[in-house]
Structure 1
Amino acid sequence: MYFEFLNNSGFKRIIDFKNQTSDFGLYCTAGELQFYDGITIPTTAFVANQYVHLVVTRDSASEDVNLYVDGALLGTFVDSTQLGVLDVSNVMNFFQDDLVFGGEARPGNIALLKIYNTAIDGATVTANFNDLEKTSAAIAFTPDITSSCLNGNVFNFTNNSTTTSTVTYNWTFGDGGVATTNNATYNYATSGNFTVTLTADDGAGCIDSVSASVTLFDNPVVNLGADTTFCDGFVLTLNAGDGFSSYLWQDGSTDSTFAVSTGGQYSVLVSDDNNCTAVDEIDIVVAALPVVELGSDTTLCFGSSLPLSGPAGMGSYLWSTGETTELILVNASETYFLTVVDFGGCTNTDSIVVDILPELIISLGTDTTFCAGDSLVLDPGASFQSYVWNDGSTNSTFTVTTSGTYSVSVLTDIGCAATDTINVQVDAIPVVSLGQDTTLCFGSTYQLVAPAGLPNYLWSTGEVTDTITVTSSGIYAVIASTLAGCSATDTVDIIINPELLISLGNDSAYCEGTPVILNPGAGFTSYIWGDGSTDSTFSVTASGIYSVVVTDAFGCSATDTVAIQIDLIPVVDLGVDTTLCFGSTYQLTAPAGYPGYLWTTGEVTETIVVNTTGIYDVVVTTPAGCTAVDTVQVTINPELIISLGPDVTVCSAATTVLDPGTGFASYVWSDGSFDPTLTVIVSGDYSVLVTDIFGCTATDTVSVIVNQSPVVSLGADTTFCGGTTIDFDAGAGFVSYLWSDGSSAQTLSVTAGGIYGVTVTGANGCTGTDEVIAIATPLISLGADFAICDGQTASLDAGAGFTSYLWSDGALSQTINVTLAGTYTVTVSDASGCINSDDVVITVTPPPFLELGPNQTICAGTAVVLDAGAGNFNYLWNDGSTNQLYLASTSGIYSVTITDISSGCEATDNVSVTVNPAPLVLLGPDATVCFGTTVTLDGGAGFTAYLWNDGTSAQTLDVTAAGLYTVTVTDAAGCTGTDDVEISYYPQIPTPSVSQVGNTLQSSSPTGNQWYAVPGGIIAGATGDTYSPPQNGVFYVVVTDSNGCSSAPSPDFNFINTSIGTVANAFVSVAPNPANNFITLETSGIADTKVAVEMIDILGKTVFATTVNANSRKQIAVSTYPAGIYLLKTTAKGFSKVNRVVISR
């Protein structure tokens, strides 16, 4: 082996003979080349980076192993282990580590390797070494690169050999490729480690070669996957894979992964440890998420519900309630979530917080009672947006002054409502009237009555009942009060007069008719006699006891009684006028016991008997000669006659009625009956006794002969097959026959079912009748023609018990169901083979027309009239009402069913009514403000229109006068809301005036003062009606009342303190005023030499200050100052003054 060892440091394997269990070989360590089994090769024999000729031989017979280096034997050892033998169990490694025992190898280059199957001797070894030195010592080549990526660079091999003879070069590239050029270029088709060998052949048997390794690396493979689509909001991580040494994405980033959140084309360039690269691209589409918007969080009133709706057209819906529909209705406080998935698989979620407020409860208090004249303020609470009382008022409180039931409905700022009711009883102040002062008669008692039914009374007598009785003169008072404590009082003066006396005289006797006058005396205001008469005197006409009650002007009465005896005139009574029956007599009787009687008949007895019609009277005379008369009329009726008619002969089948006539009080027949008439059915004599209203009677008799009517029989009712003939026989022996069809034969033949009758006449002229029912079987009836409603089904039933059925539509069942109009016929047969048919006409009635119209939206407080249409209908709305018209005033779905009364057909329709709440407008509470204040009323933002009671239409209204201001707002739905507020103004405070008393300023107002200096403003603590300035100057005062309202400032007052010293004739003028560009200040009469000048703006800031000569004229420029009001203050010794200057532009 001819080899080059590239490094001799450390422990380095050069050649290793090994089998499966142990090895030996050549190695170097610490600069020495050693061989297994202790052979040491001098260091000088082994030079790094130079080629060495190494030969190892083993003689199998002697088991000697010889080691030759560069042609010379360096050592021998005995190998009895067969380790040096190359066979299937042993492997020879060159410059490669033992894989079992470890160690370390270093690379080298083998230029020549020869293996012999026999041990060569030393001479051969030396010869081979010498030949190698001659021809091959300088064989070498250089690759331009030792490694490359597949399909990358082309390898260029440069032949660096130097030889002493002409040689032929052969290249082998390790993958089967060859070349014979001096230099070689080669492109590998596959990856791997390849040994490139250059062989030089001089043609004389001297061949040498040199090899080098080159490596072709596989290009890395990177795969970002297929183009894809994902949902917005999702981040897709593109992974180029592990194991690469570098990454470069399209945006310059260098991580192995790349997070994608937007659509586009993405690419990555990867490099491996061999600097081989690969690229992949991927197209990403980001699909938009479905838009889910449940709206803003919502607060609802107690009992309300809220529809929540997801976006339409999604693939699926999932609510936090578990529902999976697009729309749900919620009515509980909760956070609701909706997750939707569109048909592309993208999902999105939204949530809404729904807060159901607790039930709103208000209270006006318990039912109560108070006294008339007082009032009760009902207050449901002050925190509500609006109030509506039962009278329509909208204040937050309600003042009650009368009895009644009061209710209020309140509305919060979010539209929640509550109602309460209170019964208020206003107790009337009792009306207590004891009447006028009263004068009573002697011995009288007087009842004083307070109004009944009250719980409390207190009289001046101490009594506590509603009524007291007084018997003595005095002033009486009562206090009456109700349960509510309402009370009233009254007094009355009672006077008791002395006793009143009268006399009618002594008892007396008189004859009847003699005048007797009773007189109790004159001067009384009223008289009441025993008979009730009220004259002042009484004329007596009969015996008796007479009394009178007189009353004087005070209402006092007195009474007296007297007995009067009068002989009476006889009482004659012949009774009432009398009517008598024909042939009767009547006895008239006068009163017994009198001595004299005289009748119109001339008779003088007490009793007479009369028997003729006439007027009878009698005169009766008493023993005293007193007479009396009476008259009576007696009437004798004519004779009463009745008739039952002549004797008569009748038939037994006929009815004979005996009638004596009407108008009698009673009837008695010979058979004992009492009816007005008598029905005769057998022969005989019949009589009747009648009595009229006067008790008069009459009688009559008649003879009746009853002949026997013939008897005819057609037999029992019978049944036969329809379409055949059946005969009926009335029987022989009769004079004549008359059938119900008009025929007159003894017999009748019929073919149809029905009722058949016959009347026969016998020889005595009497008739007999019979009838029979003939039933043509089978009997079938579909009933009367009828109508059904469109859409209804009618069931036609031919009846049970038939053996076959055939309908006009071909059906063979007992019943059929029909829905169309038409004539339906059925033919049936029974067990006897009889056939019959019937038909019925069915009419289909269309449903009544019903149209409630489109869904409607109205405003709160209004209503929409739903009309179910006029007609002969019954109406039924979903709330049970039954009118044609329905007044809908609340949100909801209203449905009605109308029924046509004539046909029974129905129609139903419904309509949705949405009630938009009235816009809530709040102008605030009534207010009283200071005079001159402008109050801005605001109708609130967000409305489409405003209308104030002055006709303006802005959102706000500036108020400068007292009054009631009303605004009506209109929202986007066209609904209106109204509120009003009353603005009042406190009276204007009079403008105060200031005067100087000595060295003190005096305000015209005794209170509420605040003093001000000009300039300088408010003077702290100066709030009295007087103020003593510490220096001269200009001052004014403002008065503020208890309402916080302030007056206008008083006129400026130029205060001069004489103790400070003044200039009596001092004068300051400013002109022009108003000024534009300049003013001229003129001073005179000032004792000082200089005058300080200061100009102050309305904010109190000094804008200009200077000193001028006193008693001079000075022009001051003001063109640079803004327009406005300024104070020009001039000050000198003993003098100060402020002038107001107006600068205009």
Structure 2
Amino acid sequence: MILLSIFSHAYAQSNTVAFISNSDKTLCPQNNGILTSVQTSSLDISGPADKIWFASYSVNGGPAEKMNEGFGINTGIFTFEISFPNVSNRLKTFTVRIEEAWLEDGTPLPITEEERSRNITVYPLMNPSVQTYENKVKTGSEEDYTIIIGMNSLYTKELPVGAEEISFQTEVIDPYKYVNIRIKWQAEAGITTFKSIEKTGFGCVSDTIYSPIELKSEFSLDLGEDKNICTGESLTLTPTIDLKSEYAYSWSTGEISESIEVSKSGLYELTVTDLRDNQQITDQVQVTVHDAPAINIADVIMMDGSPIIVSAQKDGCTYLWSTGDTTPEIEITSPGDYSVMITSEYGCTNSKSFTVKDQSSFFTLNLPNIVHMCAQETMTLSPYMDIDQEYTYEWSTGSTEREIEIDHEGIYTLTATDPNGYSQTASSEIYYHTKPIVDLGEDFILWDGESKQLDAQNKGASYLWNTLETSQIITVNSGGDFWVNVIDEYGCANSDTVFVDYRKGEKFRVELGDDKSICAGDSVLIVPLIVGHPVYPLTYNWINQNHTEAEIYLKEEGDYTLEVTDNLGNMESAQIHITKLPLPIVNLGEDIIDYPNIEYELIANVDKVSYNWSTGEVSKSITVENTGTYWIEVINEFQCSARDSIYVKFLNDYPFVGIPKAFSPNGDSHNDILYVRGTDIDKIKLMIFTRTGTKVFETTDVNQGWDGTYNNQKQEMDSYYYSLDITYTNGVNINKSGKFTLLR
């Protein structure tokens, strides 16, 4: 980016266009700060003084640009200031060349070839480097930082309010200078930065480097997510702490080391103490020890010559069979010895070996695989054996009877043993199902000509409505009770009823808008919106408000309900909630009379608000030096505001400084110039504005007055406004403002 500032001078020159009086220069590069004089170069170009002329220029052979933003130049010497960036890490030369010049009618103007261009050399932009540092530190702590700059450069820093430099040392290791500083950080937590600036031996200033710091009032402690281990294993618990310091550790186990080994389930708690300020933080972690997954495969399994399926299925597990399979179950086609190893989601393993034999020599035990029951039903579970002989029975419930009564769901396993000691095992999985959930919804209203669908849901079930319809969904267009009986796939039944209120007239609804929040002392106008086509006239009733008009002003917190009834007696209602927000409280204290000093600090006694003083300042406190009334307005997080004012009167009476109430720049040599007059004046700054706010004059010279012109044009007779900053010889600053009249 090239920055350009334009000036003009009314000197007589020839029709030839050329650079004049400016030799080649060396500048400092642009940086991310405000431009200074060492970063800019003034270039003067001569041209015809009595004509309007134009010129264009280029930089380093780039596209030509018109001077003076394309406007005609009406002076003999045209001056502009120019500056350049340079991030090349070396000196870089920029050639500014006059490309073309012409008069207003297009006639070309000659350009002196030897004065056609100027070279501007720009020093490289330096970049101080802040070495790696801890970007999280504790409030009030002292921390060390190292910044690397050029060996011949100077280092400047800017610390946030409340931070303090404790030490500052430099060390030169060619070709760099290492700046080592220790900073004591402020006591207020939050995100802040410190700024680093390098100034070279040529007086050039680098980019400002911003180093972010998070100031924390306390360190954080984290033992991580809850842990899972297997029986027989152990793990190491080690805390993570975000701030560097010296810490002491106290575990709920009594150990005081930073890390501990655990092998039992439990809640482990660690308290860490920062030895620098005795701050303590506690965290917990749950450790769960998991058993290896159980494998429910019998030691001996029968087959009748056909392939059988053997399953070790467990949710979340992986499998490895002796056959090489990795599926939850395998198909076995021949008798033999087999095994399986399964691993749970927590990495816990178990294994099982079993034998598969031919069925011809064994009895068969059968139980129903799956039984579906409805809520509160009972059943008798009885096994079937294909060989009639004496057996002993062992159920998973502990019963040794042949049959058991079932009244809740679960997996029921029976092991039957024949007189020869051979055992067979079978299981039944009993499911209890709740009745299907049938919900036809709340009772509702149908208006003339309306209809609505009723949905019994439970797709795939069977349905019977009191209308004798058997579909899941029916359409109703009349009033009365409607019920449905639903039977699901398991034979479990349930029903529901809904009442339809059929009304004459047309449907309407009442809307009061979103809930409102108001500041204490304010009120809000609620205007209801009637949507639809009720039969007018309507009546309104604000519940518990003794108010029967449609609109209402509300100023108290609470819930408000409006009932609207049409001419047919159909009533609809709506509700709105009003929240009252608190006002901030601000007190500047009693008026200050005859204060003996030359300044006084006014402080707003309220926090967590925004501030707006009558002086235009927005800080919590201001310092005043002039007698007068000062007010402050504070706005809290709810955008509620409050004001207070105070009158301050100083003993000091400073000498008068001001301007006349009127002047007449009519050329009669009497009162033609408006001057600032007074005594004991050190410095001034006078600005004059039209009644529309256009600034027509500015000076800092007490001996320079306004002649009533702007851009060489006489200004109209009118009232004008001024702002006058005065610095007395004793250093006191005051400001005056007002208006005066320009007479012709």
TM-score of the aligned structures, taking structure 1 as reference length: 0.17
Q: Flag the structure with larger Rg.
A: 1
TM-score of the aligned structures, taking structure 2 as reference length: 0.24
Larger relative contact order (CA 8 Å, sep ≥ 6): 2
